[in-house]
A and B are shown apart, each in its own frame.
Chain A
Amino acid sequence: GAGVSQTPSNKVTEKGKYVELRCDPISGHTALYWYRQSLGQGPEFLIYFQGTGAADDSGLPNDRFFAVRPEGSVSTLKIQRTERGDSAVYLCASSSTGGGYNEQFFGPGTRLTVL
């Protein structure tokens, strides 16, 4: 594809439910990032993958959040026992390689609403 894509674009769920958010990075990009953006705020880092492995997961807020990238391309962010405070836009980005100085290309985000 031409850019980073994310599905679904919107997700509404009830408190306590499980959700999965999908990210398709730019083809060939080895680095993939997840960020969370609350209303009126800048994106906050969650997790960074280099290939299939999580190189840095220090931004995950607690153990209800988990992400995978089993084949080094598509990634899924999983949230268990959702809480109203999880409501935000979840952004995915990819870059050709990891490390600093590499432009990160962002997808349009998934807007998660927890009722």
Chain B
Amino acid sequence: GESVGLHLPTLSVQEGDNSIINCAYSNSASDYFIWYKQESGKGPQFIIDIRSNMDKRQGQRVTVLLNKTVKHLSLQIAATQPGDSAVYFCAENAGYSTLTFGKGTMLLVSP
């Protein structure tokens, strides 16, 4: 995605809506992907992960979709709640221990 400097891409939804957050990754060798949620003043919190041999994985209210052809990852949150408001990061791992994070998307949920 585009560099937005200090201004994160923002997704605003109403409580109860489904949310979709997208991420483009850069390394075609990456084979493990993770979505993190980060609330203000806290460290990133693991949400869900997916390996490159899968194209979809579901958790509780969350689904991650992976499209390796176009190097795209998405996070779907069902029935979004105000407590879901945070910044969401995708991260990729090319088989080493270090993670490469994307720039993040801010999700704002209105009651």
Contacts and interface: CB of A to CB of B under 8 A. Distances in A.
A and B bound? Answer: yes
Interface of A: 4, 31, 33, 35, 39-45, 48, 50, 55-56, 59, 91, 93, 95, 98-109
A1 to B, nearest CB: 14
6 contacts: A41-B103, A41-B104, A93-B43, A100-B32, A106-B43, A106-B45
Interface string B89-111: 10101111111111110000000
Interface of B: 4-8, 31-32, 34, 36, 41-46, 49, 51, 89, 91, 93-104
A98 B98 CA distance: 9
A100 B49 contact: no
Given A50-B97, A91-B44, A104-B46, 17 more contacts: A35-B101, A39-B6, A40-B4, A40-B5, A42-B103, A43-B89, A43-B99, A43-B101, A56-B96, A59-B98, A99-B96, A100-B93, A101-B93, A102-B97, A103-B49, A105-B46, A108-B41
A24 to B, nearest CB: 13
Given A39-B6, A40-B4, A40-B8, A31 B97 contact: yes
B32 A103 contact: no
A7 to B, nearest CB: 14
Main secondary structure of the interface of B (DSSP, over half): loop
B66 to A, nearest CB: 15
A108 B39 CA distance: 10
Contacts of A98: 97
Contacts of A105: 46
A45 B99 CA distance: 7
B101 A44 contact: yes
Given A39-B6, A101-B51, A105-B46, A48 B41 contact: no
A45 B100 contact: yes
